[in-house]
Amino acid sequence: MNDTRTDRPLKIAVTIDDFVLWDGIPMPEGTTPTDITRSVAKTLNSYDLTGTYGFSHTYRLENEPEQMEAFEAWAEAGHHLGNHTHQHAPLRWMSDEAFRCDFETAQKYIGHLIDAAPSKYFRYPMDMSSGCERRRGEVEKYISDLGYSTAPITSWFSDFAFIMPYFRATALGDKDLQKQVRDLHVSVAVDMLYKHADTAHALFGVDAPLIWLVHGTAICRDTLAPIFDAFLERGVEFISLDEAMKHPVNFSKPPCDESFTNQLQRFALAAGLPKPELEVEQLAEILNLAPIPDLDTITTYEESMLKPLAMRVGAEYDWDWS
């Protein structure tokens, strides 16, 4: 792991996305979104992280109203909710009007829970705000008029890549393989935090507070405590999202970009710096762990989640994983 920054402790605001996971992505047998949400919320509370913001889209509530239990469990545990849209489709796949309607649909489902938070936050699906400054500006004006601020992501570790490998390892019943995936999840989380921190330092000249993302998944449930322990061992300080949002790395806007990147990565691209990301070889290793025929990671995402999503919102499928 990269321990070069332990003499300059980092500050991060933890956020959790999509604890009601995307439609079409399998979960380990006997596991429900509510189970995961309660476990993740309990872990957060055990590290004095009550009041963590969660951003989960609401599409599955259309056909699975029982999933509202997960949203309610999150709030009952003392955490806050933000708006992450209904469909979880990137802005570039939708018209301005359709995107606003999607925001409003999510509001109809969970607005009463969002209103209980001390601050109202919105997060773009995949942190993608399109490649058009005008369109992003119109969305920002719309949500601002409703009392919302955008909560970007300024540190992530491609944890989506671990969901299918962990599912496969669990389905195989291979305890050693499950541990291998969990251990890699923890080490990558640490390494990528420091890669993002180093990029922020290069851009801003200081250790900027980062808004850190992990998704509410089975592997998050099983590794969140070890990740937090590893962070704390390196001097990381947990702060609130409100505090993190006071820094320009989080409240200002980098130039728009169509790519699948977070806010800090877009700042880096605009400055001509390498964006902090997993090496291609390591990403490929993760994606291909615990192989099972017909359960390929990328194929599952594309065929079971992304392509149906594009069809639902009337968009041409044009996803670029690079």
- Give pTM, 2 decimals: 0.96
* Residue 50 counted as domain residue: yes
Q: How many CB atoms lie within 10 A of CB 32?
A: 14
Domain count along the chain: 1
Q: Which residues touch 51 (CB under 8 Å, ≥6 apart)?
A: 78, 79, 80, 118, 240
CATH of the domain at 196: 3.20.20.370
CB-based contact 214:252 (threshold 8 Å): no
pLDDT for the residue 129: 85
pLDDT value of residue 9: 84
Helix, coil or strand: residue 281: helix
Are 27 and 167 in contact, with CB atoms under 8 Å apart?
yes
The distance from CA 271 to its chain's CA centroid, rounded to whole angstroms, is: 24
Task: Please write the tens of the pLDDT for every residue from 83-116.
Answer: 999 999 999 999 999 999 999 999 999 999 999 9
Residue 6 lies in a domain: no
| Pairing verdict, β 148-150 and 80-82 | unpaired
Report if residue 3 sits inside a domain.
Answer: no
Average pLDDT over residues 38-63: 98
Range of the domain at 119: 11-312
**2 belongs to a structural domain:** no
Encode pLDDT of 221-278 as tens digits.
Answer: 999 999 999 999 999 999 999 999 999 999 999 999 989 999 999 999 999 999 999 9
pLDDT > 90 in the chain, percent: 93
What pLDDT is recorded for position 230? Answer: 96
pLDDT at 6 over 60: no
